[in-house]
Amino acid sequence: MGAAHTEASAIEGWIADTDVMATMARFVSACAILHGASISREETEKLGPAGRTFVVLGQRWAVAASDVDQVPPLQANVAFAEAYLADQSGSRAGFTHRPSESVYLNDFLWFQLSNSHGRFSPEQQTALDSIGPADQDFPTNLRAEGEPIEVSIFHRKRRFYSIVAVNAREIGAALDAGDVGTVAR
């Protein structure tokens, strides 16, 4: 399989197993919680305009031990580089959502979450589907209004999906639904 950052076919070439899918979903939830806390702090302390959060699923290039001094770790982390480049493209590329909707998932992560149906228990799936708008199932129920934002990164088009942080932070509780019931609206 090629790298998802450089080959579009790699995005559709792998679907995570249930444990990895749950880990990804919980990570999105944790990022949304952190994003909300950052926005609250910025507003409370009047630090300036609220920021954007990019959650990118991707790879890290293997760096040989002999190359460690020549290749800084963040340069080997292609997912970090993708998030950085997307953020740098800024509002002119379309990253203009309200602070509560300024959590962006890359197309590879969105593809994985979109293929999560049937991976979780019926209780978990019901709880995930109950997040956000009543007429949408997970993960579509996380989406902010508008089309995905398309930018060119690593010589190919990438799409970023804006999600509503308030909804996304409920994912962790929904995945715990097997133990604690469904998520309240």
Residue 99: CB atoms within 10 Å: 19
**Mean pLDDT for the chain overall:** 83
pLDDT at site 143: 96
Alpha helices per DSSP H over the chain:
18-44, 73-76, 78-89, 107-114, 122-129, 165-168, 171-175, 177-180
Cβ–Cβ < 8 Å for 100, 3: no
pLDDT at site 15: 86
Q: Which two tokens stand for residue 147?
A: 């089309």
pLDDT digits (tens, 9 = 90+) for 159-174: 999 999 999 999 999 9
pLDDT at site 44: 73
pLDDT at site 159: 96
Give the residue from 110, 139, 118 showing the smallest Cα distance to 11. 110
Q: Which two tokens stand for residue 69?
A: 């001094």
Residue 29: CB atoms within 10 Å: 21
pLDDT digits (tens, 9 = 90+) for 5-37: 445 544 556 788 889 999 999 999 999 999 999
pLDDT digits (tens, 9 = 90+) for 37-93: 988 887 777 766 668 999 998 776 666 655 656 656 555 678 888 999 999 999 999
Distances from the Cα of 95 to the Cα of 11, 58, 184, angstroms: 22, 20, 30
pLDDT at site 70: 65
- Report DSSP letters for 35-72, one per residue: HHHHHHHHHHTT-SS---EEE----B----GGGTTTS-
State the burial class of residue 123 (Cβ atoms within 10 Å of its Cβ: 0-12, 13-18, 19+): middle
Q: Which two tokens stand for residue 177?
A: 């639904």
pLDDT digits (tens, 9 = 90+) for 86-105: 999 999 999 999 888 889 99
Q: Which two tokens stand for residue 68?
A: 């460690």
Helix (H), strand (E) at residue 162: strand 156-163
- pTM for this prediction: 0.80
pLDDT at site 5: 46
